[in-house]
Structure 1
Amino acid sequence: MHGSSNKPPSDHFDGRVFFDPDGVPPKKLSDVLRWQFGSNRKRAVWPEWAPSPHADTPPARVDGDKARLSFVGHASWLIQTAGLNILVDPVWSERVSPFAFAGPKRHNDPGVAFDALPDIDVVLVSHGHYDHLDVATLSRLAKKFSPRVITPLGNDLTMRNADSKIRAEAFDWRDRVELGNGVAVTLVPTRHWSARGLFDRNRQLWASFVLETPAGKIYAVGDSGYGEGKHFRDVGRAHGPLRLALLPIGAYEPRWFMKDQHMNPADAVMALADCGAAQALAHHNGTFQLTDEAIDAPVIALAQALDAAKIPRERFVALKPGQVFEI
């Protein structure tokens, strides 16, 4: 039973599944098999372990009009601002998979050890894929901190069915949620899809987030294809000016399979131009091998794409886990 079934239809829900009116449906199973088992597949080999030289011990709180972002790894961030501690797509597990013994495995430790986390007030979970919605981590957080968990429609059921102590609250695109201390978050459309198993495709909604903070607005994009860039321009128009964008740059090869759902670095540079953020930080690379490109390919391609677009490299930075960015 999925939460989507008792919701009235809308411009992105047909009464049974969610869809992006500006997007494309996810690839068919036959395409997945062609990618995974095709004779001309070129999958780069990642080093077994690629540790980050950095590790962060965050302060208890960050007050005033500052914001402190600590990169945990992959798509996981700790954002501290206005006395609130907010985690985005937290994954401390060893694997991102329905199975404990198989599936993509970490190539480096989280940039903040779980025991080094400050008190967590709010968790934002962008969608249901295993590398973003990690029930084991959400359970640990619920047990230790009991934070509010803000997520798009239907993902609340995934969480609560796994652990009733996860305080999940589900919202639709364009809903704005007050988090306290003058901080709010709006769920915004993004070009992606969702599934936890073989038979629940697009039964849960996916989203990106715009955080209103005293340090400016932070646009946190989980997974997104670029498409024609419409979603990024819409967010820039509706929510600008944006102080910072967190943009995914990894998990993009082969393009024929991935381009509708995941941006490559050149797409991400266009997305930055479209949304107009003053600064961008890269993520979704270097921790879990989900696709075929080499571990360092996204960061190299990002520098090339910025140079080609005549955008200074310091405006769009790829941190390593444990590195910190302060506004």
Structure 2
Amino acid sequence: MIAKVFKFLGTGLLFALVALCLAIIVLPPFLDRIYYTGPVSAHFDGARFFNPDGEDTLAPPTGKSRGGFMTRWILGRNERPDWPVSVPVTQTRPAARVEGDVLRATWVGHATVLVQTQGLNILTDPIWSEIAGPFNLAGPARVTAPGIRFEDLPKIDLILVSHNHYDHLDVPTLRRLWERDRPMILTSLGNDAVIDVPSKAVDWGTRISVKPGVDVVVTRNHHWGSRWGTDRNRALWSSFTITTPAGNIFFAGDTGPGDMKWPEEAARLGPVRLAILPIGAFRFAPGQMMTGSHIGPREAVDVFRGLDAGYGIPIHWGTFRLSFEAYETPPTMLDLFTACAGYRPDIFARRAIGQPIDIPPYAAPARGTADAATRARCAEGSPELAALK
């Protein structure tokens, strides 16, 4: 009897080992999809896209592997500060249209912003799903409800999709919006193969007319893309500049600092009235200020300055837990670094999810000089920064 049990276990183990070996061979090619084919360019080698400034967005900031990071996360040994399970949100019902040069923006959550101007309703990286991950089953869950109920959204005319990570390209949301409104969906090369509804995928530098006087230019940023790991960088990432008669709107998407020349490239397209910039998910372990693929509050202020923007809305924090920082760390740091840069505190500061903001006409922001005490608070290793988790 015992011999039969061992034989059964041994056979089962052998089959499991064979299945594992087959999975190692079969699954990676199966999961690696070709989203785009085209000529070699300054950021496409014929198979995969890359950042032309040469920086590796995936270099771990601590020298530890990303596999180790995921293992610590799954096993709960990740030293992450506690986050709230849920955060209350006051949802709003936007106007059907905002006409003329009035510019109104509502942060819906994460990288989703409703921008209303010139009679257009524009959404950036829309996600109304509860979980950002494969099949919306595995991945980080929302801690905040969307600032606008899907049912209360006005008719959407234009959607900008920056890249194919699950927290930015949410197929169920895009499908719902397409079925309801038939908007123009604009993204960068290859992502149309993921989006699964009619969309326009173009290269950096392409200008698309939305209506007379309003264009969208697909602009460079510094990131990477993947849905399954083995399909890494098969599709391009981007930022967007919306040009309007009353000043431009810049949406950074998801980005690391890279060579930091891309903000000035966008600024050359015209005055940036509104900059929508990420400030969260910028470190993988306590003490790290950034990674190559995400800017944190300090770098966001540098981008704001490079754009010479008149007004800023910080995004990509406080909705999905993607990294190690505490819930309040990104906006707290942002307040500190804007003060150190000499900006007025209201120019680029936290905004409540669901709060509609009327953006003032463009004016180049005046910058003062921070006093010595403020500069000391911003210095690397300062007690104030060290106390932030």
Report the counterpart of residue 319 of structure 2 in structure 1.
287
Equivalent runs, 1:307-326 vs 2, <5 Å: 307-326=339-358
Q: Which runs of 5+ in 1 are unaligned?
A: 161-165
3-state secondary structure, aligned to 1:211: strand
Report the counterpart of residue 40 of structure 2 in structure 1.
9
Deviations 1:260-319 (A, max 9, x none): 110110110111111111111100001000001011110111011111222111110211
CA distance in 2, matches of 1:146, 1:244: 26
CA distance in 2, matches of 1:274, 1:297: 23
2:228 corresponds to 1:224 = no
Judging changes above 3 Å, is the alpha-carbon distance between structure 1 residues 96 and 40 closer, same or farther for their aligned structure 2 residues? closer
CA contact (8 A) 2:282 2:291 kept: yes
CA contact (8 A) 1:89 1:125 kept: yes
3-state secondary structure, aligned to 1:185: strand
Shift in Å, 1:63: 0.8
2:333 corresponds to 1:296 = no
Identify which of 69, 77, 82 aligns with 1:35: 69
CA contact (8 A) 1:208 1:219 kept: yes
How does the TM-score come out when normalised to structure 2? 0.78
CA contact (8 A) 1:147 1:167 kept: no
CA distance in 2, matches of 1:306, 1:99: 39
CA contact (8 A) 1:31 1:257 kept: no
Judging changes above 3 Å, is the alpha-carbon distance between structure 1 residues 262 and 23 closer, same or farther for their aligned structure 2 residues? farther
Identify which of 85, 89, 93 aligns with 1:48: 85
2:157 corresponds to 1:118 = no
Superposition RMSD on alpha carbons, in Å?
A: 1.8
CA distance in 2, matches of 1:290, 1:254: 9
CA distance in 1, matches of 2:173, 2:71: 32
Shift in Å, 1:249: 0.4
Letter in 1 for 2:221: T
Letter in 2 for 1:44: P
Q: Which has the higher strand share?
A: 1
CA distance in 2, matches of 1:278, 1:205: 28
Letter in 1 for 2:47: R
Report the counterpart of residue 368 of structure 2 in structure 1.
none
Equivalent runs, 1:91-170 vs 2, <5 Å: 91-160=127-196, 166-170=197-201
CA distance in 2, matches of 1:20, 1:80: 31
CA distance in 2, matches of 1:101, 1:253: 25
3-state secondary structure, aligned to 1:317: coil
CA distance in 1, matches of 2:71, 2:349: 34
How does the TM-score come out when normalised to structure 1? 0.93
Shift in Å, 1:181: 4.1
CA contact (8 A) 1:244 1:277 kept: yes
Report the counterpart of residue 239 of structure 1 in structure 2.
269
CA contact (8 A) 1:151 1:169 kept: yes
CA distance in 1, matches of 2:233, 2:55: 12
CA distance in 2, matches of 1:71, 1:81: 15
Shift in Å, 1:125: 0.4
Q: How many residues align?
A: 319
CA contact (8 A) 2:191 2:236 kept: yes
Identify which of 273, 276, 283 aligns with 2:308: 276
Decide which moves more: 240-249 or 186-195.
240-249
CA contact (8 A) 2:247 2:270 kept: no
Deviations 1:141-194 (A, max 9, x none): 01111111100000001112xxxxx22110100000001142110000101000
Shift in Å, 1:215: 2.9
CA distance in 1, matches of 2:290, 2:69: 10
Judging changes above 3 Å, is the alpha-carbon distance between structure 1 residues 217 and 91 closer, same or farther for their aligned structure 2 residues? same
CA distance in 1, matches of 2:34, 2:341: 44
Instruction: Indicate the structure (1 or 2) with the bigger Cα radius of gyration.
Output: 2
CA distance in 2, matches of 1:190, 1:309: 22
Amino-acid identity (%): 41
3-state secondary structure, aligned to 1:307: helix
Structure 1's consecutive aligned runs of 4 or more residues displaced over 6 angstroms after TM superposition are none
3-state secondary structure, aligned to 1:93: coil
CA contact (8 A) 2:112 2:126 kept: yes
Shift in Å, 1:213: 2.0
CA contact (8 A) 1:187 1:207 kept: yes
Letter in 2 for 1:154: G
Report the counterpart of residue 206 of structure 2 in structure 1.
175
Shift in Å, 1:101: 3.0
Identify which of 213, 221, 230 aligns with 1:199: 230
